[in-house]
Chain A
Amino acid sequence: MDSASIQSVTFFDFLDRMRNPASLDLVRSIKSFIVSFSFYTANPENDGKKVQDFFFTMEAAIRDHPLWDGASIEEIDSAMEGLEKYVMTKLFTRTFAPLPEDVKIDQEISEKICLLQTFLRPEHLDIPAVLQNEASWLLAEKELQKINAFKAPREKLLCIMNCCRVINNLLLNASMSENVVLAGADDFLPVLIYVVIKANPPQLHSNLKFIQLYRRQTKLVSEAAYYFTNLVSAKSFIVDLNAKSLSIEEIKFEENMQAARLANKVARVEVSPTTHNIKASRAERGPGPSGRIHDNETNTSGGSSYPYMEAEAGELTVGDVERLLSLYKDVVTKYTGLCRAVRHVPVTKKVPPAPHLEGTDVMLIQPAETSTSMDSQKSFAESFARESKNN
């Protein structure tokens, strides 16, 4: 994308100027600011303010700096974009989802969306047929799902903007070709909410909070602020969502939610034993489906009661058959018991009696991006080196 390549040029330019001996004073301020962060425990509100104050001070310093003598407003601005990216990449692990409660909220939202995904239809949000465009929606979802591929607040915000622009284009096109009256936000918000539910973007709450706190305040205004607010509002709608929020009968809604919970639960019970082998399986398979299990604190200790979870067909011997069969019966008994407990007959018919596969499916739905946040564990110096090379 155009603006992305422009941005990498300006970031390179920023790094270049920072290597210039004349900028030693700036480099010192930046380094000491970053180091000062490690002295205190994370406190998002304070940290956000500290960072914003630092940006503010640095902007004045850069404007008066000989290296930027005679620079235009745009040049100062791109230096500031570079600074934001540099500082926030360095402080990423410290500032992104630093509190256990943030992690918990992220997980709750993501789980609720998982449930909603199983039955929510555009009609439940009264999205008119002319706006039901799977291709556009998919594009918008993809933009949103990219959000964890970036660490800089500006780039994360850009993912949101791009998602909203895709939806915007869809609405504008519909109003031109279909002769429908453009209904503005009346149409925009429902489509955005639907797209968010379909996309289930990773760490939605933490990403929004991070952008809010660390995107340069002078940049979170106007159109960017509007689209950002829309995503905040979509999140808030999803968090509070109940039968009354949708065009659906209350009984139907509860049934669907129960059924989805059940399917989830069954999946979890089935896969839980792998948590014990998580390291081994990760090493073998890379950050695959097991990443999902890792996120689930709710896993009950199934222990070694399902020892064949990791087994390959070729490794099994005839001697295993008896054990396998008894485990199978055990699983089926628990499964049907669960189904009965929720007394939901229609669903028991839908879910095939092969919970293994069902479980894996659910896991695979998870966006792969979640694993990128793990990268942040690597040293900042390394990531910085990588960035400068890439550019």
Chain B
Amino acid sequence: MGCAASVPDKSSGRSGGLNNLENGGPPDAKNLRVKLVLLGDSGVGKSCIVLRFVRGQFDPTSKVTVGASFLSQTIALQDSTTVKFEIWDTAGQERYAALAPLYYRGAAVAVIVYDITSPESFTKAQYWVKELQKHGSPDIVMALVGNKADLQDSREVPAQDGIDYAEKNGMFFIETSAKTADNINQLFQEIAKRLPRPSVPDS
């Protein structure tokens, strides 16, 4: 089959969110498996950020699942922990907004993306933050991302607005450019650092 099927993975068999212990495989606090959901208006470059992240990491032929909307990528942290992100993209068009809960259920991380040249997309991002605060899992790690930072000349959302909003809501904030790859790895490294670590996983 032509499409990249996910690499047979011995550690598969954990449910969504952080890899809580299921049957099969030893408990592992050093190798995390994380469900990450991407939210944001259509056209803000959600999938470009992920593609940049996935393709820019290691050897492109390595343990990577490249689909059009589901991707997974493993990163190593300095403390020798590895984090495997399973990235769930969502359709950003308004007509699919009601379906979002199906996707963010059980997610350990939500990355909410807007376009710094589009105030509407920033408003939409705030809508997603509120929705997740109401309906997402309480310990979800949220990141607010202002994308298209390379388009400084057409900027309409000041960086400070993003910083302020994120701070008020206890989120991590970063501006990225999927085009130039600016801050893309930092985004995922930062998220990985903020994940709650199951020191002794209890089943």
Specify whether A and B are partners.
Answer: yes
| Chain A interfacial positions (CB closer than 8 Å to B) | 1-2, 56, 59-60, 73-74, 76-77, 126, 165, 167-169, 171-172, 175, 181-190, 217-219, 221-223, 225-227, 229-230, 232-233, 236-237, 240, 244-246
Q: Which 5 A-B pairs have the closest CB atoms?
A: A184-B47, A218-B13, A171-B68, A185-B89, A189-B91
Check A184/B50 contact, CB under 8 A, given A165-B1, A168-B3, A236-B102: yes
Check A186/B43 contact, CB under 8 A, given A165-B3, A172-B3, A233-B103: yes
B22 touches A223 (CB 8 A): no
A172: which B residues are within 8 A, CB to CB? 3, 66-68
Which residue of A189, A221, A223 is within 8 Å of B16 (Cβ)? A221
B contact face: mostly helix, strand, loop, or mixed: loop
Q: Which of B93-101, B114-122, B125-133, B152-160 contacts A (4 or more CB under 8 A)?
A: B93-101
CB distance from A71 to the nearest CB of B (A): 13
B1-37 near A? 1/0 per residue, CB < 8 Å: 1110110111011111000001111000000000000
Chain B: CB-nearest residue to A72: B10
CB distance from A77 to the nearest CB of B (A): 8
B72: which A residues are within 8 A, CB to CB? 222-223
B48 touches A226 (CB 8 A): no
B175 within 8 A of A: no
B74 within 8 A of A: no
A184 touches B99 (CB 8 A): no
User: Bound state CA distance, A169 and B42, in angstroms?
Assistant: 21
User: Bound state CA distance, A104 and B86, in angstroms?
Assistant: 36
Chain B: CB-nearest residue to A232: B102
Which residue of A56, A76, A184, A246 is within 8 Å of B89 (Cβ)? A184
A126 touches B1 (CB 8 A): no
B65: which A residues are within 8 A, CB to CB? 223
Check A126/B47 contact, CB under 8 A, given A218-B24, A227-B70, A229-B102: no
Chain B: CB-nearest residue to A161: B5
B69 within 8 A of A: yes
B89: which A residues are within 8 A, CB to CB? 184-185, 188
B42: which A residues are within 8 A, CB to CB? 183, 186
User: Bound state CA distance, A218 and B15, in angstroms?
Assistant: 6
A186 touches B91 (CB 8 A): yes
A185 touches B13 (CB 8 A): no
B14 touches A221 (CB 8 A): yes
A226 touches B88 (CB 8 A): yes
Check A182/B99 contact, CB under 8 A, given A188-B91, A221-B16: no
| Residue among B5, B47, B51, B65 facing the most chain A CB atoms (10 A cut-off) | B47
Which residue of B2, B43, B102 is within 8 Å of A233 (Cβ)? B102
B136 within 8 A of A: no
A2: which B residues are within 8 A, CB to CB? 1
A246: which B residues are within 8 A, CB to CB? 95
Q: Count of chain B residues with Cβ under 8 Å from any Cβ of A?
A: 45
Given A77-B24, A236-B102: 4 more A-B contacts, CB < 8 Å: A185-B68, A186-B93, A188-B89, A237-B99
B88: which A residues are within 8 A, CB to CB? 226, 229
A188 touches B48 (CB 8 A): no
A222 touches B43 (CB 8 A): no
User: Bound state CA distance, A244 and B98, in angstroms?
Assistant: 13
A185: which B residues are within 8 A, CB to CB? 38, 46-47, 68-69, 89-92
Chain B 41-99 interface residues, beta-carbon cutoff 8 Å to A: 42-43, 46-48, 50-51, 65-70, 72, 86, 88-93, 95-96, 98-99
CB distance from A56 to the nearest CB of B (A): 6
B10: which A residues are within 8 A, CB to CB? 73
B16 touches A236 (CB 8 A): no
Which residue of B9, B48, B103 is within 8 Å of A229 (Cβ)? B103
User: Bound state CA distance, A190 and B93, in angstroms?
Assistant: 10
User: Bound state CA distance, A217 and B106, in angstroms?
Assistant: 14
A222: which B residues are within 8 A, CB to CB? 6, 9, 12, 72, 86
Chain B: CB-nearest residue to A216: B13
| Residue among B1, B23, B51, B98 facing the most chain A CB atoms (10 A cut-off) | B23
CB distance from B191 to the nearest CB of A (A): 18
B68 touches A168 (CB 8 A): yes
CB distance from B91 to the nearest CB of A (A): 4
User: Bound state CA distance, A169 and B9, in angstroms?
Assistant: 22
User: Bound state CA distance, A175 and B51, in angstroms?
Assistant: 12
A181: which B residues are within 8 A, CB to CB? 48
| Residue among B2, B69, B86, B91 facing the most chain A CB atoms (10 A cut-off) | B69
User: Bound state CA distance, A171 and B68, in angstroms?
Assistant: 6
B6 touches A223 (CB 8 A): yes
Question: Could you jot down 15 A-B contacts, CB within 8 Å?
Answer: A167-B68, A175-B68, A181-B48, A184-B50, A185-B47, A185-B89, A187-B68, A189-B99, A217-B15, A218-B15, A221-B13, A227-B70, A236-B99, A237-B95, A246-B95
A223: which B residues are within 8 A, CB to CB? 5-6, 65, 67, 70, 72, 86
User: Bound state CA distance, A237 and B90, in angstroms?
Assistant: 14
CB distance from A19 to the nearest CB of B (A): 26
User: Bound state CA distance, A226 and B5, in angstroms?
Assistant: 13
User: Bound state CA distance, A385 and B119, in angstroms?
Assistant: 64
Chain A: CB-nearest residue to B95: A245
Which residue of B15, B16, B24, B96 is within 8 Å of A237 (Cβ)? B96
A171: which B residues are within 8 A, CB to CB? 68-69
